[in-house]
Amino acid sequence: MRSPPLRRALLLVLAAASSALAQDGKVTLQFVSFPKTLKPEPVELLIGKGKTMMVELPTHELSAPYRVDAREAWALGKMDEDAEGKPAFTVYGRTKSLGVAKQLILVIRKGKTSADGFKLIPFDNRAGKFGGGQFLFVNAATVAIAGEVGTRKFALAPGRTAIITPRPDQGDQLCHATLFYRINQEAKGFLDTNWPLQPDARGLIFIYNDPRTSRLRLHTIRDFP
């Protein structure tokens, strides 16, 4: 027979695991896509066997929240019919679910159209996981990136992401931001500025190469979770 302390510990673990999802088994999803485009096309989210719903993939803000049944994986694509006339879902991108009640899905386009495919990156979107006063950096460039924001240092290889929580170092709600890129074993700066830092706002920072000039660019989104 298990001892009472061990039994209580097991109950606490089970309670923590169950609280990760909403009590009704629902999950709230939001989406944001990149590269930025003026008119991102909505796509279908697979929500059950043969069942989909249309979702928006905005680039200048986070999408509206979508409340769906919990699943082990999320898939975006298009519902068609196979040769026998039965529903067939064409997958543009897929990722494992994080198993938490609120998730933010970053959708990175692989080409000019949705049919070219997506890379999906999920983030824990619960309060305190990616919330106010934090920055999500996405290195969509072809070179390594390093930076220091409000005394917080980070480094990102191409294709990597990081969430940092800087400290204000230029006043109560301001932090100094410096970004570098690496080329020929040297670090070169491409950003030196001050950013507002508010406890109720979070920032998404996309670093990418301009398709016309190949120069590094920033695409930023401010969101109030």
Give 10-residue mean pLDDT values along the chain (225 residues).
Answer: 50 44 85 89 94 96 96 96 83 96 94 92 90 94 94 94 93 92 89 93 93 89 91
The pLDDT of residue 225 = 86
pLDDT at 211: 79
pLDDT at 13: 41
pLDDT score recorded for residue 33: 93
pLDDT at residue 112, as a whole number: 87
Whole-prediction pTM value? 0.82
pLDDT reported for residue 125? 93
DSSP string, 89-134: EEEEEEEE---SSEEEEEEEESSSSGGG-EEEEEEE-STTTS-TT-
Res 18: pLDDT: 41
Domains in the chain and their CATH numbers? 24-124 (2.60.40), 135-223 (no CATH)
pLDDT value of position 166: 94
Q: How distant, in Å, are the alpha carbons of 3, 17, 21, 172 from that of 10?
A: 11, 11, 18, 43
